[in-house]
């Protein structure tokens, strides 16, 4: 996403905030977001699941790093968005999350759509979130939950020398990105 698109997203948020008008998203698919179940292969030893295959992604969407995070019960991460980064999440457990996605890309055919779904141990999913999609998740389980992310950009760039590609919305007054 270009700087112009990043600025448009802020203009969009500022407009609704300044008018003190709640933006109402509609439930629906979001162009460019991929949601696919994790296929579990089980045998007498346990199970195995593929969470990433280079031959199933476009070159610009291929992960360049991976990390795992633990989120405590009742805690949220986000909402935030990225200007250039695609997130490649694996929600496989432990724990269950409510995942929220909002399309605020002005030129998107699904602008104004929102997805809310339960993911994690009880519904193992891969979720690919392209740039410009505001996203958040909340641990709705009773145990600490793990999320694996394999983004297509290095955090803070090579050698951690660049600005972090993250536009945070969780502390905005009158944010339209409500986790409910």
Print pLDDT tens along the chain (180 aa): 334 445 555 555 555 554 434 568 999 999 999 999 999 999 999 999 999 999 999 898 899 999 999 999 999 999 999 999 999 999 999 999 999 999 999 999 999 999 999 999 999 999 999 999 999 999 999 999 999 999 999 999 999 999 999 999 998 888 899 998
Which residue carries 């162009």 as its tokens? 31
Determine contact, residues 119/33, Cβ cutoff 8 Å.
no
CATH number of 3-52+66-168: 2.60.120.10
Residue 169 to residues 12, 17, 51, 53, 110, Cα–Cα distance (Å): 13, 12, 28, 31, 20
Best CA proximity match to 74, nearest among 141, 147, 170: 141
3-state secondary structure (DSSP) of residue 89: strand
> CA 75, CA 24: separation in Å to the nearest integer?
24
């Amino acid at each position: 996403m270009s700087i112009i698109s990043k600025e448009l997203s802020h203009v969009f948020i500022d407009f609704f905030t300044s008018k003190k008008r709640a933006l109402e998203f509609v439930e629906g698919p979001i162009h460019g977001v991929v949601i696919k179940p994790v296929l579990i292969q089980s045998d007498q030893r346990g199970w195995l699941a593929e969470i990433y295959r280079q031959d199933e992604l476009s070159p610009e969407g291929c992960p360049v790093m991976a990390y795992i995070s633990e989120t405590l019960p009742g805690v949220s991460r986000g909402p935030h968005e990225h200007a250039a980064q695609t997130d490649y999440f694996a929600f496989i457990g432990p724990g269950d999350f409510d995942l929220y996605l909002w399309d605020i890309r002005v030129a998107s055919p699904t602008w104004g759509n929102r997805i809310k779904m339960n993911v994690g141990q009880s519904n193992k999913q891969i979720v690919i979130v392209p740039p410009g999609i505001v996203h958040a998740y909340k641990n709705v389980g009773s145990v600490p939950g793990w999320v694996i992310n394999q983004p297509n950009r290095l955090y803070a760039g090579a050698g951690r020398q660049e600005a972090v590609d993250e536009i945070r919305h969780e502390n905005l007054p009158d944010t339209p990105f409500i986790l409910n």
